[in-house]
Chain A
Amino acid sequence: MNKTLIIVAASLLLAACGERAQTIGGARQDAAAYTGTGKAFVQPGWKPGDKASWESELRARGQNSQNEYNRIN
């Protein structure tokens, strides 16, 4: 009987010695860029939410604005 009481009392007392988790959650989840902003000043020619159209729009924009060999030669 005494033994049981000691075990119960010890387990209750030692429960306070437990540690809280100290792991860091890290950065929040960010929305993908191809989902768009839902506002004005968005480049026309692609559909927000459509990843393929967003990628092709960016690729075309990059080629048209940065690769002058496409335009001159």
Chain B
Amino acid sequence: MARMKFVCDAERCIECNGCVTACKNEHEVPWGVNRRRVVTLNDGVPGERSISVACMHCSDAPCMAVCPVNCFYRTDEGVVLHDKDICIGCGYCSYACPFGAPQFPSQGTFGVRGKMDKCTFCAGGPEANGSQAEFDKYGRNRLAEGKLPVCAEMCSTKALLAGDGDMVADIFRTRVLQRGKGAEVWGWGTAYGSRQAGKPAAPAGAKS
């Protein structure tokens, strides 16, 4: 398997916020925290476009780079997760993240800002898989249940795709070829690296 990735197809997203609702419901995310949200550009103008944004589980994650207590880690599937027992709620990750993924609850026992919360790609955290402690801190671990992230599975138009990077890219490529437009994937180059974003191409034979 390559790496787990999200892609949002701006040609399909209808700004229904089903992904946001599904995420909040599945993980019982507290008030004030939105792990996923829908962003609309040129709202109200003909030709407006929407995309669903959350943690992109970057290949070279800036949140990981700036964390002073090293609470982030990456799973074998490329999912960027963090340990809330180590997080000190400093907020550096939120300044570093280009997608605004790190969220901070306004209420809690750890000061006003609280410990960071973000999309886990429905992969939980360092607690035992499927345990109550894991659910309380990070939400449900759907990957360990053999399922994909609920936001993508609930997406009514299948604008939001999630799963193995090669598979997701194949699905998106097929769509672009069929409809003949909409090849731009916002955030893809920033999160996953591309020649357009100024990063070197992957070596021959390497998986995305």
Give chain A's interface residues, CB within 8 Å of chain B.
24-39, 41-43, 45-46, 54-55, 57-59, 61-63, 65-69
> In the bound complex, how far is the Cα of B73 from the Cα of A4, in angstroms?
52
Known contacts A24-B69, A27-B70, A67-B174: A33-B147 contact under CB 8 Å: no
**Tier of interface size on chain B:** 35 or more
- Complex CA distance for A59 and B144, rounded to whole angstroms: 14
Q: How far is the CA of A25 from the CA of B75 in the complex (A)?
A: 17
Cβ of A68 to closest chain B Cβ, rounded Å: 6
Interface centre among A32, A37, A61 (most CB of B within 10 A): A37
Are A62 and B164 closer than 8 Å at their CB atoms? yes
Pair B143/A30 contact, Cβ less than 8 Å: no
Assess whether B164 is in contact with A58, with CB atoms less than 8 Å apart.
yes
Given A32-B75, A36-B129, A67-B174: A27 in contact with B146 (beta carbons within 8 A): no
B128 at the interface (CB under 8 A from A): yes
